[in-house]
Amino acid sequence: MQFDHKKSLLEIHRGIEDAPRTTLIELQGIPAMNFQKRPLMFGLALALCCGAASAQSGGTLQKIKESGTIQIGARESQIPFSYKLSADAAPIGFTTDICLKIVDAVKAKLGLPKVEVQYVMLNSTNRIPLLQNGTVDLDCATTTNSTQRQQQVDFAPSHFVTNITAAVKKASGINTLAELNGKNVATVAGSTSIQLLRGARKSGSIEANELPGKDTSDGFLLLSTGRADAYVLDDVQLAGMIANAPNPGDYKILKESLRQEPYGIMLRKDDPQFKALVDETVAGLMKSGAIEQLYAKWFLSPIPPKNANLNFPMSDAVREIYKNPNNKGV
């Protein structure tokens, strides 16, 4: 994989500016700091990131073999896909489990007794830049596989299909998407849900006031505190946040959908050896039925932190992608 280092430098700069502090601490082992006030340390961190990017010239597998580590992009609060139980805990979840199966396949492929997993907390705005510049090797969360994103990154076979809809408080009296007209609606910055809401506004079907949260938990906070009348997001993520809310009975999810979307694990483009291994591993989980066991673990059983059961049965769309694995985008 060949890198345009001038272009990569710009992407790395942007990625560091957007990245949570924990990302820099985990990768560089340096204290959190204000880089604008400490240009020398910023330069050091930038140089370290450039080293990671240039190591990719031999592909991700070679990078992992040389370093003995793999960097996995994760999330703080995307229940049940990728989330943390505490600030110091490693992420857990459905997508996390799938990516750990990929790590096992990498170890076997490279003949390594151990590969250290380093997690990097990402969000919707920095996940693609930090994947492209080599900060992370896999993004393992709830990223929608879209044709627009396929121009920038590659996707593994889709592991979930969701519906974009809205959560509201039962006392709000809102029962349809059309009733969001004139309401304050929370979304997540950089997500497909915010794009769909803007598209609906342009078409005149929904005239809502947009309140973008920085991540999924921030969006739910806008709803729970009454600053937003509704929260537009993926139905399964809404179900996870409601199940773990202090008063889950106060909320409901609308039955209508703005669009159906597939989730996929992201990896860098133009890395055929790594992509072949990732695709084979994920498709293998589907063909063997192992992914159905993972599904039952995370969607049909009590899960931490509150031992809540999402009771989210497998949809026909999910059954279809497990029967016929693919990475088609929307």
Residue 201 in tokens = 């506004």
What's the CA gap between 252 and 280, in Å, rounded?
A: 38
Q: Judge whether 193 and 232 are in contact, CB under 8 Å.
A: yes
For residue 227, the one-letter residue type is R
In the chain the first and final C-alpha atoms are separated, in Å, by: 27
> DSSP assignment, residue 92?
B
To the nearest whole number, what is the mean pLDDT of the chain? 85
- At 32, the pLDDT band (50, 70, 90 cuts) reads very low
CA distance 85 to 89: 6
For residue 116, what pLDDT is reported? 98
Nearest to 64 by CA among 11, 7, 138: 138
**Residue limits of CATH 3.40.190.10 in the chain:** 59-159+264-323, 164-261
pLDDT reported for residue 38? 42
- What DSSP letter does each residue of 206-263 carry, written as one string? ---EEEEESSHHHHHHHHHTTS-SEEEEEHHHHHHHHHTSS-GGGEEE-S--SEEEEE
pLDDT band at residue 57 under the 50/70/90 scheme = low
CA distance 72 to 53: 15
What would the mean pLDDT of 72-94 be, rounded to a whole number? 96
pLDDT in the model for residue 30: 31
Lowest mean pLDDT among 7-11, 91-95, 292-296, 324-328: 7-11
State the average pLDDT over residues 150-163: 97
Strands 160-169 and 251-253: antiparallel
Angle (nearest 5°) at CA 29 between 27 and 32: 95
């560089």: which residue's tokens? 28
pLDDT tens-digit map of 233-287? 999 999 999 998 999 999 999 999 999 999 999 999 999 999 999 999 999 999 9
- At residue 232 the predicted structure's pLDDT band, cuts being 50, 70 and 90, is very high
Length of the chain: 330
CATH of domain 59-159+264-323: 3.40.190.10
Which pLDDT band holds residue 5 (cuts at 50, 70, 90)?
Answer: very low
Cβ–Cβ < 8 Å for 152, 269: yes
Q: Looking at the predicted structure, is the pLDDT value of residue 33 above 60? A: no
Report the CATH superfamily, name and number, of domain 164-261: Periplasmic binding protein-like II (3.40.190.10)
As given in the structure block, the two tokens for residue 256 are: 């209508």
In this prediction, residue 190 carries a pLDDT of 84
What single letter denotes the amino acid at residue 216? Answer: T
- On the question of pLDDT at 131 being above 90, the answer is yes
pTM (predicted TM-score): 0.77
Residue 194's pLDDT is 80
pLDDT at 11: 40
Backbone angles phi, psi at 9, to 5 degrees: -60, -40
